[in-house]
Amino acid sequence: MPDPDDAERRLSALEARAEDVAAAQRDAAAARHLAAAHDRDLADLGVKVEANRRAINALGVQTAARFDRVDERFDRLEAAMRAGFAEMRAGFAEMRGKLDQAAAGQGHIVGLLNTLLRDDER
């Protein structure tokens, strides 16, 4: 017949082992819960990162479109400026020609006056 002290010791060891197993099961359940929460957090983070990526890409597209419009306006302004300077240069050339003609005409008049004055002195 088994020794009663030995049975008591074995029963106590078995109860302790059962408590350890129950604690391990609780720990495993808590770990599963934490892992599931971690997975949800990672999924939420992935969704947020993707939303931010789409927003940043949209801003990039908008910014590029705005720069394209600025470039177009600048090109039109530059073309208008160059046309205005060309017109101004043509106007200055025309004025220079007219001033040269006026100077030549005045030089001719001075020459005629000098001729008349010399003729009067004689």
- Higher-confidence residue of 107 and 20: namely 107
CA distance 114 to 71: 63
Number of helices (H), then strands (E), in the chain: 1, 0
CA distance 4 to 11: 10
- The DSSP H or E segment spanning 1 is none
Q: pLDDT tens-digit profile of 35-65? A: 888 888 888 999 999 999 999 999 999 999 9
Q: pLDDT tens-digit profile of 65-108? A: 999 999 999 999 999 999 999 999 999 999 999 999 999 999 99
